[in-house]
Amino acid sequence: MKYTDEQRISKITEYTDKLLDYIRHTGLTREIVAENETVRWTLTTPLYNIGEHTYYLSNEFRTKHSDIPWGKIAGLRHRLVHDYEYTNWNIVCDIIFDVLPEFRKQLECLKNS
């Protein structure tokens, strides 16, 4: 199925919300991520999906909203998929705990524009 940019943003928002809800409801911490492989696998699925939809946003859309680092978001997905064994989980923790909440706010602004 070919998605429109608006549909992709909706899917990205959905996966972001699910990931943030998971973090909140489980009381996830950096220590748990470091110690628990099952949790790491659980975190990667929404990150894959966010990155995949980001990768296929149109160039026009990404250019129009260049304040969001689309290339880095898609790059994270590629890194997790193709170089999983060498994932730096400290960086992933920075993303999910520090960057993701702000990214969610940016997505809300996109939906309202």
Q: Which residues are catalytic?
A: 77, 82
Strand segments, DSSP code E, in 5-101 are: none
- The greatest distance separating any two alpha carbons of the chain, rounded to the nearest whole angstrom, comes to 41
Task: Give me 9's structure tokens.
Answer: 């943003």
User: What is the separation, in whole angstroms, between the first and last Cα of the chain?
Assistant: 25
